[in-house]
Amino acid sequence: MRWKGRRQSSNVEDRRGMRVPGGRRGGVSCLGLLIVIAIAYFTGANPQQLLGLLGLVQQMAPPPSAEQAPAGPPPANDPQAQFVAVVLADTEDVWNQLLQGQYRDPTLVLFDGRVASACGLTSSAVGPFYCPGDQKVYIDLSFFRELSQRFGAPGDFAQAYVLAHEVGHHVQKLLGISDQVTEMQRRARDREEANALSVRLELQADCFAGVYGHHNRQYLEPGDVEEGLRAAAAIGDDMIQKQAQGYVAPESWTHGSSEMRVRWFRKGLESGDPQVCNTFESPRL
């Protein structure tokens, strides 16, 4: 993927190395937080959605005085930070063009260890995530090493796919899709029905990531598309469950199987049209 020397987004906030104060008393217990983190880590679930389903987001949120202060841009000699800033800039160009007048650029927050957001205190163990409360994408860049070594999905376009997926959640927030899904989950009969809605939301974000890739094909090199598809397959719920527990439990999926994730990412890649990403009306995922 050709990214060096290209425009970098200015919407990057570097909080690496910053101390994160503890949460408020009376919130989620340490055991409760560890359980949520474990579920998110082994299933690939978005921590915000898990906390939201449990009704814990407000309890988790630290008081304003405890939140990390906004930091500055990443240092100029940090290639990995430069790379994600270029990818973020590309997503800005694509979505401002496709959603003229509707798109607002999100902020990308770099952190290490744990981070405070409008969604509460979150460990890097949950992986990259989008917080709709402050409309920011959060990532510990060490996840890319995990993506390569643990999930077997190396490559810069694999990393770009991960970031574009989280930006896809921002698109869903701006279009009102994620709020509608959250309300539908509140009315769901059981956890399995709520999980099925989460799967459709996540697959749409995969498709939106593909739309980003389609509109940046001029910067892709041989093998890049395969890197992205490999990453989508590697973090399917079925693959993660097999690795974590030795068996697959489809009723607990929150992101979809490897086949589903590849299929919807590919749909976005091939079409470049967000209209094809309506997973909520698709009879077959």
Percent of the chain with pLDDT over 90: 76
Least confident range of 52-66, 83-97, 208-222? 52-66
Considering only CA atoms, which of 285, 275, 66, 37 is closest in space to residue 177? 275
* 5-37 per-residue burial string, b: 16 or more CB within 10 A, e: under 16: eeebbebbbbbbeeebeebeeebbeeeebeebb
The amino acid that residue 148 corresponds to is S
Task: Quote the pTM value.
Answer: 0.83
Report pLDDT for 57. 39
Distance, first Cα to last Cα, the chain? 29
Average confidence score pLDDT of the chain:
86
124 within 8 A of 20, measured Cβ to Cβ:
no
Question: What is d(CA 106, CA 93) in angstroms, rounded to the nearest whole number?
Answer: 12
Distances (CA, A) of 120 to 14, 21, 133, 179: 18, 12, 10, 18
Per residue in 220-266, pLDDT (tens digit) is 999 999 999 999 999 999 999 988 899 999 999 999 999 999 999 99
pLDDT at 72 over 80: no
Greater pLDDT, 65 or 209: 209
Question: What is d(CA 170, CA 136) in angstroms, rounded to the nearest whole number?
Answer: 8
CB neighbours of residue 1 within 10 Å:
21
Per residue in 88-126, pLDDT (tens digit) is 999 999 999 999 999 999 999 999 999 999 999 999 999
Contacts (Cβ under 8 Å, ≥6 apart) of 192:
251, 252
Contacts (Cβ under 8 Å, ≥6 apart) of 27:
56, 59, 60, 61, 120
**Domain chopping of the chain, boundaries:** 12-281
